[in-house]
Amino acid sequence: MHNRQKADPLVRMLGVTKMYVQPDHYDILILDDITLEIHPGEFVALLGPSGSGKSTLLRIITGLSEPSFGTVLYRGRPVRGPNPNAAMVFQSFALYPWLTVLQNVELGLAAKGVSPAERHERSVTLIDLIGLNGYEDAFPKELSGGMRQRVGFARALAVEPELLCMDEPFSALDFLTAENLRSELLDLWLESRIPTRAILMVTHGIEEAVYMADRIIVLSKNPARIVADMPVILPYPRNRKSHEFMQIVDTVYKVVTGWDDHPSEDPNIDVIDTQSEERPRLKPIPYGHLSMLSGLLELVADRGGRDDLYHLGAELFLEVDDLLPVTETAELFRLADVTEGDLSLTDLGREFVQADVGMRKEIIREQLRDIPMFRLIDRVLRSKANHAMVKEFFNDILEEHFSVEEAERQLMTSINWGRFADLFHYDTDTELLYLAEDQLEESVQDSP
Amino acid sequence: MTEMTDRRSSWGMADILVGVVVLAVLSLLIAWATHAPHHSPETGKISLAFWRLPMYALYSWLRMAAAYVISLLFTFVYAYSAAYNKRAEKILIPLLDILQSIPVLSFLPVVLLAFIALFPGSRVGVNLASVILIFTGQVWNMVFALYHGLITIPRDLRESALSLNLSPWQRFRTLELPYSMVGLVWNSMMSWAGGWFFLMAAEMFSLGNKNYQLQGIGSYLQTAANQGDWLAEVAGLVVLVLVIVLMDQLIWRPLLAWADKFKMELVEGDARTRSAVLMILRRSRLIEWLGASLGSPVLEWTDRWFGHTLPRLRQAGPLATVIGLLRTLMVAAIIIVLVTALEGTLKLVQHIAWSELILVFEATGATLLRVLAALAISVVWTVPVGVFIGSNRKWAQTLTPISQIAASVPATALFPGMVALLIHLRGGLSSAAILLMVLGTQWYVLFNVIAGASAIPEDLREATKMFRLKGTRVWTTLILPAIYPYLITGLITAAGGAWNASIVAEYVSFQNHVYTTFGIGSLIAEASAGGRFPLLLLSTSSLALAVVVINRLLWRRLYNRATERYSLS
């Protein structure tokens, strides 16, 4: 029934690029030259790690946000302002707490100028369809999370959109509720009980994407580019336990985790990003929790030092999104390698697992000394007479490389790691990073 | 996060620019007042007969209501411009900060003269002057509340409004107004309380040898105190409290309970404001019928009407050029006014002698000491009492309503009576002024301490019990840190109130005799009574500057630190 070749594309994006302009002209690139088409009849999943700009891409497609360069065409016409033929379902539901379920659903129709009587009728029909009859006069705060998202769907579907956009619609729900809602939405879509022509879903759940979509687009991070665009040719309803299903999930996993191959093998020259010619950029560090890192490595050691990332994630109930920062941290510290979706411990990694807390701190401290960010902090603190420096100083440096929020997160992660490894101290009250006596005495290991 | 707030609180060019502009406009106002011919306005005679009281109360209430309506309109225009126009925001927000630090009372005579000149020989001018004064006393916090509401609307709600293609008007009535409603209602309540404070002082005062008075409850109280009629004084206070309590029960409580549904929480909170009046209204058939047959059609109609007119305004070519032309003309007019005003300022400033400058400086210092003393006294008694009330649920239930009623009586209403009692105290008005300030400001501290103490989580209390902490230890490790952010919030409001109260506390005319004590407040009052406008401008700016500087350098830092370090969330 989904015949892609014949129909004209619903959405065409041509060289869409988005950057955030920084006051000091070091703009931050979010989306880099995205070109894609969405055809009637398609259920497309946009997959990528967090911070990959997939939500930004969705907002550009719906016209909520404007691209810095490039064009978005809807049925051949450039999109200017919010697209009236598209509707959006939000991760946080974005319901108006002061309106009842019915009023929330009616909202989009009221904006279109539909008469009150017709508005009421259509909304009630839709509320029935989505399984919320009886709750018309309830307020969102009286509903459970799953029911709230049902209202979110009803509100979006009420305006009979041709393109239904969903921004991680199931990730704020518990597992069972999400599963229930997924299959119900899929039924509505497959049985054509809703007039929607195409669905675009942003997600970080690989299984969710394979379960629902018939096309998966994988984005990379910093900046986002399309790294894969693959069809999912599996008949509905899909069985998560089937061999074919697992095979596709595994393939997607490899694509998602594999894009992060370092451009150079030596981590010491990570500072210089090959993309920008004018100026060296600090390479962002992943925000991995060190306690999670220890836990993960111990688990892998128990498995004989090597395990499939997808299995690990499923076992720990972690999405790729939560797992990746930890594995990236392990790679950064040379404790593990990721190849083809498998995580394997290095010799140092084995040593780390065997060691006690003190030794582990020692190992991480040695590794941190090789990371440019920490070399910078160490050099600054040692060169000052009082061996102390305000946090804002480092923040200012980082803001030349990252957005304001990202700089803050980078610095907080650095401080956490530095504190854990006893590399330097940080006083929250005075916002000072400083070296204590014993930290000072250790010899500086400068770059070779 | 702190870096952000710190950065914003540092001084910018905008502050200086705005400060200069405010100064200029003030002096223009002064110039207007000085050149206006002195008509003697018709003043209402005050009779102390009891049966007149309800009438007087009504007059006062009408003045308040008029000022509130103006405030509300002003709030919407100002907050919208500040929230949605990036260029306007840069000027409007620092301006707001300075405007709200200008002591309203110091401009009473000037504004009054200006309005009397506008409506010679009638009571309209005097009435308008008092309405404008009350307006300037109550509008700023409402503007802040709405502005804050508008800029903190969550991104997803904003985006959903956009993606549903709501028209600007629909966006306003389904998203922006509801989202800001809770803050707006709370601040309206506070504004009314502040309004009563100024109304009492604005209804009756003397300028030079002329007495101006408006028929109202404020002038009734003052006349009663002047004539030593204590029975009338008490009767006036009772009526005033009655009006305030009625307002609370019939308007504010139902409004608060109604605004509850606009809270952004997605879980049902445990402490909900209840109001019997609102219940009755909600269940009434008449209201339901009115809503269905009148409310809904009106909403439909406004949706259609504004939906069509608003967007077209922006796009239409000829209309845009007309608007552009108007805007240019307005900017030009504003520039001309500002230049004249600045010229006037320079002329006024030329009349200021060095000795006066030093005098103003010393007077500001004297009042600062008084403000600090008043705050210290407030803290000393409110912290133990507030913590006691806040930590005992049973006592809280009985004591909170009582203290709320006590707090609702505007301090200025008590001033005439208090002055009569305190004027013969040792130290005279110098110490009485401090007590008067305490009277006006202690409640802000008390309520915040109560709120802080009742917000201490039960598990922390239990932990202190488990470790057998006793006496001062409990205070230093648990109670003081926990109430610290609340205490600072209370002190900020209290300090603002104390500075403003200095004008009525340091200069008192009582039984045809003027009592003064050295300070910036009395300097302002004397300057305005004697028509010494250069001095008035200088001392008022000095007071406003002191308030702004102390806010920026002390209170805001303390507040940022408090919320960051001691917040219990």
Runs of H (alpha helix) within A159-192? 175-190
Task: Determine the residue of chain B that is closest to A158 in CA distance.
Answer: B164
| Residue entry with tokens 């003697």 | B40
Kindly report the CATH number that applies to the domain delimited by A42-70+81-257.
Answer: 3.40.50.300
User: What is the DSSP-derived secondary structure letter of residue B175?
Assistant: I
% of chain B exceeding 90 in pLDDT: 7
Runs of H (alpha helix) within B164-216? 168-171, 177-202
CB–CB of A116 and B157 under 8 A? no
Kindly indicate the confidence band of residue A317, based on its pLDDT and cuts at 50, 70 and 90.
confident
Of A256, A333, A270, A266, which Cα lies nearest the Cα of A297?
A333
The partner residue sitting opposite A96, judged by closest CB among B3, B157, B263, is B157
Question: Is the peptide bond prior to A78 cis by the omega test (within 30 degrees of 0)?
Answer: no
Smallest Cα distance from B143 to chain A, Å: 22
Which residue of A80, A106, A107, A148 is the best one to mutate when testing the B interface, meaning the one whose CB has the most B CBs within 10 A?
A107
Report chain B residues whose CB lies below 8 A from the CB of A113.
303-304, 307
Q: What is the mean pLDDT of chain B?
A: 79
pLDDT digits (tens, 9 = 90+) for A44-79: 999 987 767 888 899 999 988 889 889 999 998 998
B:304-323 residues touching chain A, CB 8 A cutoff: 304, 307
Smallest Cα distance from A186 to chain B, Å: 23
N- to C-terminal Cα distance for chain B?
16
Tokens of A428: 């929250």
CB–CB of A116 and B300 under 8 A? yes
Tokens of B81: 């411009």
**Confidence (pLDDT) at B273:** 64
N- to C-terminal Cα distance for chain A?
63
| Domain at B52-229: CATH architecture | Orthogonal Bundle (1.10)
Q: The dihedral of CA B373, B392, B563, B155: what is its sign?
A: negative
The partner residue sitting opposite B174, judged by closest CB among A64, A107, A428, is A107
Sequence ranges of the domains in chain B: 52-229, 353-569
Distance between CA atoms of A347 and A342, rounded to whole angstroms? Answer: 16
Is the model more confident about A197 or about B4? A197
pLDDT at A397 over 60: yes
Cα B321 to Cα B324, B329, B526: the distances in Å are 5, 12, 51
Q: Count the Cβ atoms, other than its own, within 10 Å of residue B370.
A: 26
| Residue entry with tokens 């988005």 | A18
Distance between CA atoms of B232 and B221, rounded to whole angstroms? Answer: 8
Report chain A residues whose CB lies below 8 A from the CB of B2.
431
pLDDT at B427 over 70: no
Query: What is the arithmetic mean of pLDDT over A247-261?
Result: 76
CB–CB of A98 and B157 under 8 A? no
Element (H, E) at A352: helix A347-354
pLDDT digits (tens, 9 = 90+) for A423-440: 899 988 788 898 888 777
| Residue entry with tokens 């923040």 | A395
Over its C-alpha atoms, chain A yields an Rg (Å, rounded) of 25
**Confidence (pLDDT) at A214:** 92
Sequence ranges of the domains in chain A: 42-70+81-257, 286-354, 370-448
**Confidence (pLDDT) at A169:** 92
The partner residue sitting opposite A62, judged by closest CB among B163, B174, B175, is B163
Amino acid at A41: G
Highest average pLDDT, of B61-65, B191-195, B476-480, comes from B61-65
Kindly indicate the confidence band of residue B265, based on its pLDDT and cuts at 50, 70 and 90.
low
pLDDT at A442 over 90: no
Kindly report the CATH number that applies to the domain delimited by A286-354.
Answer: 1.10.10.10
pLDDT digits (tens, 9 = 90+) for B329-381: 878 877 877 777 777 777 777 777 788 888 889 999 999 999 999 999 999 99
Which residue of B164, B268, B565 is the best one to mutate when testing the A interface, meaning the one whose CB has the most A CBs within 10 A?
B164
pLDDT digits (tens, 9 = 90+) for A166-200: 999 998 888 888 888 998 999 999 998 888 999 99
Distance between CA atoms of B352 and B533, rounded to whole angstroms? Answer: 10
| Fold agreement (A42-70+81-257, A286-354) | no
Any idea which of B134-148, B156-170, B286-300 has the lowest mean pLDDT?
A: B286-300
The partner residue sitting opposite A88, judged by closest CB among B160, B263, B303, is B160
| B298 interfaces chain A, CB cutoff of 8 Å | no
The partner residue sitting opposite B262, judged by closest CB among A91, A98, A112, is A98
User: What is the DSSP-derived secondary structure letter of residue B478?
Assistant: I
Task: Determine the residue of chain A that is closest to B182 in CA distance.
Answer: A98
Highest average pLDDT, of A150-164, B246-260, B502-516, comes from A150-164
ipTM value > 0.90: no
pLDDT at B42 over 50: no
Any idea which of A139-148, A234-243, B151-160, B313-322 has the lowest mean pLDDT?
A: B313-322
Task: Determine the residue of chain A that is closest to B176 in CA distance.
Answer: A96
Kindly report the CATH number that applies to the domain delimited by B353-569.
Answer: 1.10.3720.10
**Confidence (pLDDT) at B317:** 57
CA B104 to chain centre: 10
Distance between CA atoms of B152 and B411, rounded to whole angstroms? Answer: 34
Kindly indicate the confidence band of residue A164, based on its pLDDT and cuts at 50, 70 and 90.
very high
pTM above 0.90, yes or no: no
Runs of H (alpha helix) within B177-284? 177-202, 217-227, 230-247, 253-259, 276-283
pLDDT digits (tens, 9 = 90+) for B435-473: 888 887 888 888 888 888 887 877 777 777 777 777 777
Any idea which of A264-273, A344-353, B236-245, B512-521 has the lowest mean pLDDT?
A: A264-273
Query: What is the arithmetic mean of pLDDT over A145-169?
Result: 91
Query: What is the arithmetic mean of pLDDT over A124-137?
Result: 89
The partner residue sitting opposite B166, judged by closest CB among A92, A111, A141, is A111
Smallest Cα distance from A137 to chain B, Å: 14
